[in-house]
Amino acid sequence: MVDKIPADITAGNASRGSVVHASDAGLSDLSRSHAEEDISRLQSAILPYSASLTYNIGDLVREAGFNWVNITAIVTPEAFDTDKWAFIDNGLGVIFIAYNTDTAGQNEFFVISGGDSTGDPQEADAQAPVAGDFSLVFFTIQIQTNTRPEATEWAFRKNGADSVALITVPAGLTGVFQDVSSTEDIVLGDLICYQYRELVNTTGALTIYGSSCATRRTET
């Protein structure tokens, strides 16, 4: 450390290898040095969200594979809440389709984009091949009417099997429902579709406006 006040220090040009000192929180007068070339990295690194920390407006974090900026200060540590963070673009596109308020039938399959807007009992008739390597995120479905007394599932299917993304529509509820926590990594040629499933019993009916999800560059 230099025993001078800032006004007494002669300015100099930045030089790789020089160090900047900072006081170590809670440890008396201990000082830690950081290489001058690492300062910008210390300031801009986007770290994983922690439920044990507080955050100020403008702070950046990494959560569920995405970058987020804080829009509502978190003064008490808490679980990640998307309402308090704004999503930062990661090369997103969107895939969506209208199902023309189709009344879905038990275990029917639905296309993810394009094609017939009604459900089909044969999965092969709803599957479509993926055009490249990317991820699907932000799975969304909008329900027009729902007289079902039990929950209903909207499941993402890949190559004839259930994958990760799943939306559960509670009994009798309508509107928009999402799975924003799942990420589906898909590659060229994967066959994808959705499946509609009525749980416990098959009484009542559910009609669907449409569905959507977002595409994202696959992380490397």
- 190 and 84 both lie in a single domain: no
Residue 1 in any domain: the answer is no
Residues 128 and 193 in one domain: yes
Distance CA 189, CA 160 (A): 13
Boundary (domain end) residue, out of 67, 88, 109: 88
Q: Does residue 61 sit in the same domain as residue 141?
A: no
Do 56 and 152 reside in the same domain of the chain?
A: no
Residues 6+ apart with CB under 8 A from 184: 135, 136, 137, 156, 158, 163, 164, 165
User: What pLDDT, on the 0 to 100 scale, is given for residue 159?
Assistant: 98
- SS3 label, residue 45: coil
Tell me, yes or no, whether 76 and 108 share the same domain.
no
Tell me: the pLDDT tens digits for 126-184? 999 998 888 999 999 999 999 999 999 999 999 999 999 999 999 999 999 999 999 99
Q: Report the SS3 class of residue 82.
A: helix
Predicted confidence (pLDDT) at residue 81 exceeds the cutoff of 90: yes
pLDDT tens digits for 97-126?
999 999 999 999 999 998 888 999 999 999
Q: In terms of domains, do 123 and 195 share one?
A: yes
Burial state string for 13-33 with b = 16 or more CB within 10 A and e = fewer than 16:
eeeeeeeeeeeeeeeeeeeee
| pLDDT of the residue at 44 | 61
> Does 113 lie in the same domain as 210?
yes
Same domain, 45 and 136: no
| Domains: count for the chain | 2
Q: In this structure, are 151 and 165 located in the same domain?
A: yes
- 76/113 same-domain check: no
pLDDT for 116 equals 84
Last residue of a domain, one of 40, 67, 88: 88
- Given 88, 106, 140, which residue is the final one in a domain? 88
Domain co-membership, 27 together with 124: no
Q: How far apart are CA 177 and CA 152, in angstroms?
A: 11
Looking at residue 31, its pLDDT comes to 75
Give the C-alpha separation, 13 to 36, whole Å: 11
Locate 126 and state its tokens: 């709803």
The domain of 132 spans: 93-216
Chain centre to alpha carbon of residue 136? 9
CB 81 within 8 Å of CB 70: no
Is a pLDDT exceeding 70 seen at residue 197? Answer: yes
pLDDT over threshold 80, residue 69: yes
pLDDT of residue 114: 85
CATH value at residue 206: 2.60.120.40
Residue 104 sits in the same domain as residue 73 = no
220 pLDDT band (50/70/90 cuts)?
very low
Within a domain: residue 7? no
